[in-house]
Amino acid sequence: MANIKSAFFSALLTLFLGVSVMGLQLESAGIKLGVQVADSHTFWYLGLAALLVFGVQLFRDKLPRLRSDPEKRFEWPEVFKGEQRQRMWMALVIILMLMFPFVSSRGWIDIATLVLIYVMLGLGLNIVVGLAGLLDLGYVGFYAVGAYSYALLHQYLGFSFWEALPLAGGMAALFGFLLGFPVLRLRGDYLAIVTLGFGEIIRLMLNNLTELTGGPNGIGGIPKPTFFGLELSRRVDEGWGTLHEFFGFSYSPVHKVIYLYLLAFLLVLLTLYVIRRFIRMPIGRSWEALREDDIACRSLGLSPTWVKLSAFTLGASFAGFAGSFFAARQGFISPNSFAFIESAIILAIVVLGGMGSQLGVILAAIAMILLPELAREFNEYRMLLFGLMMVVMMVWRPQGLLPMKRPQRRLDTTRLASASTGEASNVK
């Protein structure tokens, strides 16, 4: 009975919330504002939504418990277990990934390259959010710093992609350091809001510093990366020449696309390797320790500010690398590419994949970039669903879809034996 009452109330509330905002549609009519009743579809959908809420609330107790066990971790199926087997599978995936552009179409390679950029961004943000537990809502700011670093270094100093890449990562890291320093001493909520502001400020600055950045018009003519100094274009005026002339094959514009794809793939592999190492190093251990209990960390002499700062700075540097690659691939960048929505997408990738899970982030990036590309009509609802998904995931499955057991440092049994026979007394 109590359920019927609350179900009725919830349904009514849903209807009210919907109708109050969607029932009447505002539209500009010249300098005046007009209003008209929304079309009947809207009301049908609202009625349906209210009915759904009614049903769910009514049978709330009978529905299976939604919140899943957060302790449960993803287990590899038997075929993937063991270091040897995993290495084999990994090699297979790498080979397939390398073969992909040669058997695929230009459109698909382009999408795959885009996915790889987001994988890199997701992995980088995962250091900050997943490993260190810091909510960074302005990650796109560092992405922008990376992209503009390359664009400006090229425009004013004539740097090539390869010369600018490390500097772009370094610049993003520097910005992360300067921003993190004052804020990371404080509670996590402040960091979230300050980074949110930072992302916006970077965009505003890029828009307003017209003389330096071209303002809203952006910067164009950013050259593509070269292959050891050889360019992948039809002809060049200076430098080493072009790739197809050097190796003597005929020019095709697809080569450039394939090359960019392979480069992105290489960068992702590097990122994966570096983060894999980080997790096993003292620095990665301290990130996770801080996420679990910062008071215990301080009692052991770990400086929470420096631990957070290292995660924040290193995370930012990956955004910087990704940004400079993005600038090279697009050839043109403008502040519009770095709106808050991008930060939200990257965060959604990390949340969906499972905070701290590398594989989860990769799969989530594929899903979240590929789906909207496949279903264009869905594009309009993309951000709406991303936002909804973040809420649903936190309520239902905060550990993400594919939470991995973290790799644990184990004490090997041989050392166990030697230590317990008393030999260990001399290690102190």
Partner 1 sequence: MSESLLYFFQQVINGLTVGSTYALIAIGYTMVYGIIGMINFAHGEIYMIGTYVTFIVVTALASMGIEFLPVVLVTALAISMLVAGSYGYAIERVAYRPVRGSKRLIALISAIGMSIFLQNYMRLAQGPRDLAMPGLISGGWDLSGEGPLALSLSYMQAIIFIATLVSMGALTWFISRSRTGRACRACAQDQGMTSLLGINTNKVIAITFVIGAMLAAVAGFLLGLYYGVVNPMIGFIAGLKAFTAAVLGGIGSIPGAMLGGLILGVTENMTAAYFSTEYKDVVAFTLLCLILLFKPSGILGKPEVEKI
Partner 2 sequence: MSNNLLVVRDLSMRFGGLLAVDQMALTVDERQIVSLIGPNGAGKTTVFNCISGFYRPTSGEVIFQGKAMHRLPDYKIARHGMVRTFQNIRLFREMTVLENLLIAQHMQAERNLLKGMFNTSGYRKKEDELADRAAYWLERVGLLEHANRESAYLSYGQQRRLEIARCMVTQPRLLMLDEPAAGLNPRETAELDELIVELKDQQGVAVLLIEHDMKLVMGISDQIVVVNQGAHLASGTPDEIRNNPDVIKAYLGEE
List of residues 6+ apart from 42 with CB closer than 8 A: 22, 23
Backbone angles phi, psi at 34, to 5 degrees: -110, 170
170 lies in the binding site for partner 2 (CB under 8 A): no
Decide: is 58 part of the binding site for partner 1 (CB under 8 A): no
- What count of other Cβ atoms lies within 10 Å of the Cβ of residue 213? 21
By CB under 8 A, tell whether 277 contacts partner 2: yes
Half-sphere CA count of 413, side-chain side, radius 13 A: 0
Nearer of residues 17 and 88 to partner 1, judged by Cβ:
17
Between residues 36 and 105, which has the closer beta carbon with respect to partner 1?
36
The single residue among 47, 197, 304, 398 that binds partner 2, judged by CB under 8 A, is 304
Site string for partner 2, 355-394 (x = CB under 8 A): ----------------------------------------
Which option in partner 2, partner 1, none does residue 41 bind, with CB closer than 5 to 8 A by kind?
A: none
Q: How far is it, in rounded angstroms, from Cα 314 to Cα 170?
A: 9
Indicate the residue type of 246: F
| Contact status: 406 vs partner 2 (CB under 8 A) | yes
Q: Which of 102, 142, 150, 148 is nearest to 125 (CA)?
A: 142
| CB proximity list for 252: less than 8 A, separation 6 or greater | 244
- Residue 59 contacts by C-beta under 8 Å, 6 or more apart in sequence? 3
The verdict on 212 binding partner 1 (CB under 8 A) reads: no
Dist CA 306 CA 59 (whole Å)? 50
Stretch that binds partner 2, among 75-83, 189-197, 204-212, 284-292 (CB under 8 A): 284-292
- Taking CB under 8 A as the rule, which mask of x and - marks residues 61-100 in contact with partner 1? ------x---------------------------------
Contact assessment for residue 323 and residue 147, using Cβ atoms and an 8 Å cutoff = yes
**DSSP one-letter code for 426:** G
75 binds partner 2 (CB under 8 A): no
- Residues pairing with 34 in the sheet: 27
The rounded distance, in Å, linking the Cα atoms of 410 and 408 is 6
The one among 95, 193, 281, 395 contacting partner 2 by CB under 8 A: 281
Q: In this structure, which amino acid lies at residue 237?
A: D
293 binds partner 2 (CB under 8 A): yes
When CB distances are held under 5 to 8 angstroms depending on the partner's kind, the choice from partner 1, partner 2, none that residue 389 binds is partner 1
What gap in Å lies between CA 370 and CA 392, rounded to an integer? 21
Classify residue 67 by its DSSP letter. S
299 binds partner 2 (CB under 8 A): yes
Complex with partner 2: residue 73 or 382, whichever CB lies closer? 73
Among 288, 330, 382, 401, interactor with partner 2 by CB under 8 A: 288
**Nearer to partner 2 among residue 254 and residue 297 (C-beta):** 297
Q: How far apart are CA 118 and CA 268, in angstroms?
A: 10
Cβ(191)–Cβ(126) under 8 Å? Answer: no
Binding-site ranges for partner 2 (CB under 8 A):
274, 277, 281-283, 285-286, 288-289, 292-293, 295-304, 406, 408-411, 415-416, 419-420, 424-425, 427-428
Binding-site ranges for partner 1 (CB under 8 A):
13, 16-17, 20-22, 24-28, 31-35, 67, 129, 133, 135, 137, 182-183, 186, 188-190, 192-194, 196-198, 200-201, 204-205, 207-208, 295, 340, 344, 347, 351, 355, 380-381, 383-384, 386-391, 393-395, 398
